[in-house]
Each structure stands twice: as structure tokens, then as C-alpha cells.
A and B are shown apart, each in its own frame.
Chain A
């Protein structure tokens, strides 16, 4: 299934770093997210966009994770040539990642 079926996400930007939250709609699905949506998978998902490291932070009590992606915004929001310089759309792109069904 796609992540969109069990989770939501919002993108944030600071300089050349993008962060994506990933939040389970149902706390019961959080373990599934934690198992399958690793920093490595997120880096692979955004290959060609994210040129730096991806770091994952977990907030189990919120059923949420936060992915911090370095060198992800075309050199920085204020100078990027990208159409979506802030990388606002990347949250929705994360949600198309496939993970095994429950």
C-alpha cells in the first residue's frame, strides 16, 4: 500500500535543508511506519533531488517521525532554480512510497 493510506506529511524548509514529517493517522500503524520508512529508503525515494544525508527522528508518543534531508533544495530556497523552491510538494511525493500491507 501507499503511505498515503495510513499517514500524512508536511514539508518544511530552512536554507538548503528540507524536513518532512510523517504522521500515522492511527497510532496503531506507527510501528509499521517505523519499520519500513527508514532514512535509507527516504534517501533512495528522493534520489536525484536530495544530494546530502537523510536523518530520521522518531516521536512515538505522537505516532510521528521527522526526516531531515540535507542539500535537498537546489542550493537553498532563496537562490534555487526550481519551480517549487521551498520543496513544499515533497511531502506529497513521500506519501506515494509503497510499503507492505498490514
Chain B
């Protein structure tokens, strides 16, 4: 059994840079390369794609990523774990098998993990949505997808059965990192403190560049070198759970106590109670100390027995949002921008468009942190009006009325843009864990 392993994080979201993952594979001396690519509503959108084409529904960058990293990973025996399967892990695994063959890599075992899709279970049952207290059935045919957050277990099984590449749909993000730790170190599924510390490792790594100084720079206060060549992180984990976060020497960015603290608390609520399918992790006693240049030592994650339920994300068609923007500059810009807003809001009333929610603002003045009128005379403003409607046609009126300011609005408006889109939103609920049964399917190149 190994004493320690090195896990590289090759993506923090579906559109992330690809070169840092290649750098990890080629120069990172890593054992595993993990790609976390599923945001909250990504599966719902992927499910829409799969409904149109049964062979679709996995991450659009799957092919580009695999083509980029497979040669180095295969040459060095680096195993890949990713949730890029999205709404169709089996199709993704078949695609990766074909990609491997196309570049002459034979004998690679690709595992697809399924079982997170609980849409049929929810449609056939009587469940309540936690966010709203309404029954799931109230969503009717607006419900597109329902996916349970699976834990590390099926991934560990796939690794034990020899998978070189493991492709999942919805699993808890930290499980992508926890799985190789369980597999390599023989940790038990009830070693709560080890599972808690492994979850710390997964949480620090899951946003890739964000622990390496990405999303950290604030010139003059927090300067970060060479963000254009940001390196992605490596978690060096020992069999007792001790974790060092580091990166490839010479890559951009930096790993400091500060970058690790920001990432530890990212998207955390009660630090003593971080719920995952594998463990209730306790980050409240974690210590973070420097261990050399671009090396930070992280210890003290703990855990308690896992909850009896799994979180389920339900994707559904919520509404339609229409939006328009237009700019004004020079003396009186803010006043003309405000006049533009007043005109459009009146036009929407005159036309009788049914809008359940309307938001108007001046970008650069009060769009992010609303504090009423401008406190100074801005050099330029950008009007933004967004509204929610029950049809795409009604939503489109918003942008059209903003655009019509060109000929019917205040002087000097420029750069109008408009959009109208269907909004697929996400609600969550808890489901008894036995109702989501994982399965593993293998492909071989």
C-alpha cells in the first residue's frame, strides 16, 4: 500500500482552462487527475440536450480535454476521475473509449457510473421539495431532471475493478478526490475522521485554480504572480490523511495560507457541519500552515456519521427572462440613463406584458450593490432592464423596448443589446439514500 499519493485537479468548472491539466499530467508527478465540471444546473441543461439526441448529454469539452491529457496520462499510468458524464455517463464513456482508440491507446478501461438519475423515482412517488414545501408533482412536465448526489463508494468500486478512467454524472464534488484515497489507503467507509479530512482535501481541490491564487488577486493588497499561466493544484495526501496543497514548480499563481483559507470556506455554511453523502465533515478545527514555497500543510478535518438521506437537485423550467442594455456617456449620462429606464418601464405597462418580476439598474452605479441614485456624476452608465415572464414571446418584449430607445428614447444611447431565454432553475430535496442505487458499466479501448 502506498504511503502517500498525489492528486491533481484539472478543472474547477466545465469551461475551465485545459493547459493547466496537461501541465499537471506531464510535470505534476501525479497518480490521479480529477476534473470537476458540473455546476448546479448543468445536468438539467445536459438532460435537455439528451432529450434531443440520445447520444448527447455529456460535457461539451469532454473530447477536447481527453485528447489533451490522455497521451500523458496513459504513458504515466495516471488515472482520471471526472463528473463530465453529466446526464449521460455511458455515452461519455463510449466516446472516451473511441477517442483513446483514435490516438492509438489500447486496453484502457473506462468506467461509467450511473444511478444518480432519480427522475423516474420522483415522478412515481409522493415527495416534497425542501426549498418550497410543495409536492414534486406540482412541477408537472416542467421537471427536466432529478439527480441525487452520490458518494465515493461506486467510484472506489470502479477503481478496484481496474478502471483507468472513471466517468460519473452527479456525485458530491469531494467524492471525486475521496474515492482514490479510500481505494489507495484502504480507509473504511466508517473511518469518519479520515473521511472528514479527505473531504477537506476534496473541497480544497474541487475548484482547481481557486486554491492556487486564482480568484484571489486584488492589486496592491493581494498580488498574485503570472495568472495568465496559472498552475492547478496538487493534493499530496498521506495515508493518515495529512494533506499538502502544492503545484507544479514554475507554473503561475501561488499557494499560500491565505489562498487555502479562502478556499476552505468557499461555499461552506456551518464549518462544523458540511453535509456530504459520505460523511458530515467538520472543518471547524482545521489548521493551515506554511510548509515551504507554494506548499501548505492542512490538518485537522474531522467527521461524523453520514446522513441517512441524499441531496437531490431537481432541474425544471422556471420561467423566461428578457433583458436589454444600452449605454449613455458624457454630461448628464446618469439622468439620461434613468429617463431610459422610466420610458421602458412605462412602455411595458402600456403594452400590458405580464411580468412577474422586473429589475432595472445603471451598471457602474447601482447594479451590484443597490444604493439608489448615483453619488457622483459618472462618465458613462449602462442601463440594464431584466424581467421575468411566462413565455419567451413576452420576455422578448423587454429587450425590444430597450432597443427601440435608439429612435424613441433619450439622446445619445448606444450599444443596445437584447436577449430572451428560457430559465432552467434548480430546486433541492432530500431522498432516502437507498432509492438511488449506483451501477458501473465498463468500456475498453
Give residues in A with beta carbon < 8 Å to B.
4, 8-10, 12-17, 19, 21, 23, 25, 48-49, 57, 59, 61-64, 66, 68, 74-79, 81-84, 89-90, 92-93
Decide yes or no whether B387 CB sits under 8 A from chain A: yes
Partner of A61, one of B287, B358, B367, B428: B287
Docked complex Cα distance between A12 and B123 (Å): 32
A84 touches B270 (CB 8 A): no
Closest to B300 in A: A61
Given A19-B265, A83-B361, answer yes or no on A4-B426 (Cβ-Cβ < 8 Å).
Answer: no
Partner of A76, one of B288, B359, B371, B425: B425
Give residues in B with beta carbon < 8 Å to A.
40-41, 131, 215-216, 218, 221-222, 258, 261-272, 283-288, 318-319, 321, 357-359, 361, 363, 367-371, 384, 386-388, 423-426, 428
A39 CB → nearest B CB, Å: 13
A25 touches B265 (CB 8 A): no
Given A59-B284, A81-B387, answer yes or no on A15-B215 (Cβ-Cβ < 8 Å).
Answer: no
Closest 5 interchain pairs by CB? A12-B267, A21-B265, A78-B425, A79-B425, A81-B359
Docked complex Cα distance between A76 and B388 (Å): 14
Given A62-B264, A64-B261, answer yes or no on A57-B271 (Cβ-Cβ < 8 Å).
Answer: yes
A79 touches B318 (CB 8 A): yes
B218 touches A83 (CB 8 A): no
A48 touches B267 (CB 8 A): no
Partner of B266, one of A8, A21, A61: A21
B221 touches A4 (CB 8 A): yes
Docked complex Cα distance between A8 and B220 (Å): 13
Instruction: Enumerate chain B residues within 8 angstroms of A92, measured Cβ to Cβ.
Output: 218
What are 12 A-B contacts with C-beta separation under 8 Å? A8-B258, A15-B428, A48-B370, A57-B284, A59-B284, A61-B286, A62-B261, A62-B286, A62-B288, A64-B265, A76-B426, A93-B369
B301 CB → nearest A CB, Å: 13
B261 touches A23 (CB 8 A): yes
A84 touches B368 (CB 8 A): yes
Instruction: Enumerate chain A residues within 8 angstroms of B428, measured Cβ to Cβ.
Output: 15
A12 touches B361 (CB 8 A): no
A76-B131, A78-B40 provided; 18 other pairs, C-beta below 8 A? Answer: A17-B269, A19-B267, A23-B261, A23-B265, A49-B370, A57-B269, A57-B272, A59-B271, A61-B285, A62-B264, A63-B261, A66-B265, A66-B271, A78-B423, A78-B426, A79-B319, A81-B357, A81-B387
